[in-house]
Amino acid sequence: MTSTIYNAIEAVAQKRKISFTTLNFEESRKIHREVTFKFADSVYEQDWLWEYLNDSLAIQNPSAWRWISEFNTTDPIILFFNPSDEKSAFEFPDIHNIIDILKDTFGFEFYLCNKNLDYLLCFNHHDFLIACGTAKSWLQSKL
């Protein structure tokens, strides 16, 4: 059974002809575990990951999720969610593809990273854009 988030992403991707890869269950869990280990308190389990992030910077702005298109990366991007919302993670070849997806879907919390876990970006339901790793200095430049 697929989730509402998965269905929304798939529908927009088909409409806009955006390619993405759905990571299998084990790959998705691995990303979540590794992100948690690197960027969050180990007490985190199934709640909102952003509540447990260490060494992060956050800016509250309802449009801040759009700023992500300015984040300079050429790596494929992994989009994932709180496990209670969506267990699958998705890999996109380009950060701009994710913005195109987000523009046409409903406002869910999401996280972005690359496979090397150089950074973590999150946009939560309180309209905070949160950055860890190399994304932290990028977000600092927005202040």
Q: Kindly give the confidence (pLDDT) of every residue in the chain, 143 residues in length, as a single tens digit, with 9 standing for 90 and above.
A: 568 999 999 999 999 999 999 999 999 999 999 999 999 976 555 678 899 899 999 999 999 999 999 999 989 999 999 888 899 999 999 999 999 999 999 888 999 999 999 999 999 999 999 999 999 999 999 88
State pTM to two decimals: 0.93
Each domain of the chain, given as residue ranges in start order, spans: 4-140
Q: Which of 86, 83, 89 is nearest to 117 (CA)?
A: 89
Amino acid identity, position 11 = A
**CA-angle at 88, arms to 85 and 90, nearest 5°:** 115
5 membership: H or E segment, kind and range? helix 4-16
For the chain, the helix, strand and coil percentages under 3-state DSSP, each to the nearest 5? 40, 20, 40
